[in-house]
């Protein structure tokens, strides 16, 4: 673990970013009570940061002295490792145990990443399409296609009801180098694999072919009934997948510039959207089920070259200048990050013809990026002291009913650090408990006061008031000149200056990112320009986690689950699960400012992976082999099917 957390060092508030290294053991489990916010007397709050922990490691079947790993793919059930020599290893995604392994095709054939669905696994080597049962490895067929593929295949299935019977239809769709999309019927090719002949009502292996004579470099997308794909010529096409009109085009959306990244399909109920990036730095979102109606379009500073990720209504992408951005999937608008809440209350006074010697300026601000950040009140005045400061919450979104006549209702509580330096003497509350007035003696220029505001109830723990709830609060500050000599400032009596807290925002952007790896509920995991795996807070875009895994040079883009999957070139596959570690954060005043004591208090673990594409479904996992897999070398070419 990061020694900052292990040793509980004092960290400066400004620019503090927690970092946890997953290679070392997490802190010991603390009692449940320790994870709760402490009393306002010590000012402690709880801050949670993520950490990646290896859930399992497994060795893919290959000859590590001569062979290297080529592709790494995964779905909700399995992880598939493909080596340069054509050996395919299928691992259980929950525990890493091996289901099966086999050499597919001839050694060193050109190949494509594997495609899977709930029951099938398809691999293309050379011009040959191979299909297996996903969990057993039983070969269903090998079919030599008339053309070589230009992008990985996909598997599409659909349940069709005939009277009282329901039949599952399955197709494998492959884009080819001649600019065509071809659909193969799995049942027909499986029969040919068993009997050596196609069914009597099928005269060729192809179900349908859609020809456009445009270069298709990225995989196609299958919705509920339509196929979508983008071409290098700058078009998005929609094609019917099944039925009497299977293979017929439904729309052509012209982008005027070639596709620069794999398109993304976002399914939200009956709403199916295709998001495609272009080489001239634009993003288009079109409806797959309509005639290609455009929902929105964006112009970016640089093109998107890497796969995009859609989680709920958030769309994440990395531009070619290494900037990761988050946009709303529905509207296309850029997400905003709160830059904090605050105001500068100022007033300048002077006599005619004289310098402004008695300007008053008070800065009140709170950083909205960290859960435990307090208000900072800074006296930026010239020869002015603060006599009192009133914070009025009557105009804020904060809703609570309070009265001094009833002690069993919420009340504002204020913890101040820097009391002695600023001469804080008393704090009084208004009858409705929504206005707090602090009085000072000697709050001079260039001095600071830190305040934590909370709602206190006799029967409940103190609730920290977030900065978003404080926007709109009125600030009144009584300032007075510092008198150097008797009568020198008679024309500048004490006066009250006013202001109102407002919340600022900026676009959600993170620089220095190379590619996206996976996303959990609160964190998106990426690879930065140095090859380090980093965790970014999805809410505010701050760095929360950093892990140097240089030996894990192959990183999977996982848009199915919240697991991070990596591998070494020698086939050592690792699946990383998120662990969130809670830290108690206690403010400690020191000379010249405020620092924080950070101590681990609890560890929160997840049990199963979180599914992104099918969040409400959990596939039934088959029985896991009883014995642990043994590290094996690649089989001989004569022993493996191909």
Mean per-residue pLDDT over the chain, rounded: 81
Is residue 294 within 8 Å of 281, Cβ to Cβ? Answer: no
pLDDT tens-digit readout, 200-213 = 766 677 889 999 98
Check residue 383 and give its pLDDT: 80
For residues 590 and 497, the model is more confident at: 497
Q: Give 40's pLDDT tier (boundaries 50, 70, 90).
A: very low
Going from the C-alpha of 379 to that of each of 107, 359, 362, 520, the distances in angstroms are: 74, 11, 5, 42
Q: Give 22's pLDDT tier (boundaries 50, 70, 90).
A: very low
Check residue 15 and give its pLDDT: 31
Percent of the chain with pLDDT over 90: 45
Residues 284 and 289: their CA atoms lie apart, in Å, by 15
The three-state secondary structure class of 238 is strand
Going from the C-alpha of 380 to that of each of 44, 135, 226, 355, 499, the distances in angstroms are: 28, 69, 63, 17, 15
Is residue 272 within 8 Å of 293, Cβ to Cβ? Answer: no
Give the pLDDT mean for 2-6.
34
Give the pLDDT mean for 393-411.
65
User: What are residue 516's DSSP bridge partners?
Assistant: 526
Residues 19 and 536: their CA atoms lie apart, in Å, by 11
Please check the confidence at residue 14 and state whether its pLDDT lies above 90: no
Please check the confidence at residue 529 and state whether its pLDDT lies above 60: yes
Domains and CATH numbers, the chain: 357-365+375-482+492-502 (2.60.40)
pTM (two decimals): 0.78
Within 10 A of 616 (CB to CB), how many other CB atoms are there?
Answer: 5
pLDDT tens-digit readout, 434-490 = 888 989 988 988 888 887 777 766 666 666 777 778 888 999 999 988 765 444 545
Check residue 327 and give its pLDDT: 97
Residues 72 and 607: their CA atoms lie apart, in Å, by 24
**Residue 346 Ramachandran class (φ > 0 left, ψ -120 to 50 alpha, else beta):** beta
Q: Which of 193-202, 287-296, 395-404 has the lowest mean pLDDT?
A: 395-404
For residues 504 and 556, the model is more confident at: 556
């Amino acid at each position: 673990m990061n020694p900052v957390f292990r040793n509980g060092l004092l960290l400066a508030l400004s620019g503090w970013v927690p970092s946890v290294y997953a290679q070392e053991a997490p802190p010991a489990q603390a009692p449940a009570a320790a994870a709760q916010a402490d009393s306002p007397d010590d000012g402690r709050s709880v801050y949670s940061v993520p950490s990646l922990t290896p859930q399992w490691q497994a060795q893919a079947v290959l000859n590590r002295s001569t062979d290297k790993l080529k592709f790494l793919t995964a779905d909700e059930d399995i992880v598939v490792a493909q080596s340069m020599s054509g050996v395919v290893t299928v691992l259980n995604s929950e525990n890493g145990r091996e289901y099966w392994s086999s050499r597919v095709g001839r050694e060193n054939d050109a190949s494509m990443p594997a495609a899977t669905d709930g029951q099938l696994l398809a691999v293309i080597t050379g011009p040959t399409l191979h299909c297996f049962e996903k969990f057993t490895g039983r070969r269903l067929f090998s079919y030599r296609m008339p053309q070589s593929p230009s992008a990985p295949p996909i598997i599409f299935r659909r349940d069709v009801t005939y009277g009282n019977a329901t039949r599952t239809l399955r197709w494998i769709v492959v884009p080819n180098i001649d600019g065509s999309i071809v659909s193969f019927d799995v049942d027909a090719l499986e029969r040919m694999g068993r009997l050596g002949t196609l069914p009597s009502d099928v005269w060729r292996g192809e179900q349908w072919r859609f020809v456009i004579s445009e270069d298709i470099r990225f995989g196609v997308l299958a919705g509920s009934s339509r196929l979508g794909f983008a071409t290098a010529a700058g078009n998005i096409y929609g094609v019917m997948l099944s039925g009497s009109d299977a293979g017929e085009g439904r729309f052509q959306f012209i982008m005027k510039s070639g596709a620069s990244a794999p398109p993304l399909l976002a399914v939200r109920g009956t709403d199916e959207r295709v998001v495609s990036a272009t080489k001239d730095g634009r993003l288009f979102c079109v409806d797959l089920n309509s005639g290609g109606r455009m929902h929105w379009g964006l112009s970016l500073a640089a093109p998107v070259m890497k796969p995009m990720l859609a989680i709920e209504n958030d769309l994440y992408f990395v531009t070619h200048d290494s900037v990761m951005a988050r946009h709303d999937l529905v509207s296309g608008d850029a997400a905003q990050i709160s830059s904090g809440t605050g105001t500068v209350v100022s007033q300048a006074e002077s006599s005619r013809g004289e310098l402004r010697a008695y300007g008053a300026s008070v800065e009140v601000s709170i950083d909205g990026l960290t859960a435990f950040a307090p208000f900072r009140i800074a006296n930026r005045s010239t020869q002015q002291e603060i006599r009192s400061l009133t914070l009025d919450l009557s105009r804020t979104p904060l809703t609570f009913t309070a009265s001094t006549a009833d002690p069993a209702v919420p009340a504002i509580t204020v913890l101040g650090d820097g009391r002695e330096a600023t001469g804080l003497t008393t704090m009084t509350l208004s009858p409705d408990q929504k206005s707090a007035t602090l009085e000072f003696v000697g709050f001079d220029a260039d001095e600071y006061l830190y305040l934590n505001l909370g709602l206190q109830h006799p029967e409940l723990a103190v609730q920290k008031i977030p900065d978003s709830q404080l926007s709109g609060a009125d600030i009144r500050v009584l300032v007075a000149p510092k008198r150097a000599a008797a009568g020198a400032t008679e024309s500048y009596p004490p006066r009250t200056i006013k202001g109102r807290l407002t919340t600022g925002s900026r676009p959600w952007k993170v620089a220095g990112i190379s590619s996206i790896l996976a996303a959990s509920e609160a964190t998106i995991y990426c690879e930065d320009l140095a090859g380090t795996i980093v965790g970014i807070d999805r809410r505010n875009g701050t760095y929360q986690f950093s892990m140097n895994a240089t030996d894990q040079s192959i990183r999977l883009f996982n848009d199915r689950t919240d697991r991070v999957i990596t591998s070494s070139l020698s086939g050592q596959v690792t699946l990383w699960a998120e662990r969130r570690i809670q830290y108690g954060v206690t403010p400690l005043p020191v000379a010249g400012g405020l620092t924080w004591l950070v101590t681990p208090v609890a560890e929160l673990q997840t049990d199963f992976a979180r599914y992104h594409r099918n969040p409400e479904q959990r596939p039934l996992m088959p029985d896991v082999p009883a014995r642990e897999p043994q590290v094996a070398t690649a089989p001989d070419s004569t022993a493996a099917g191909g």
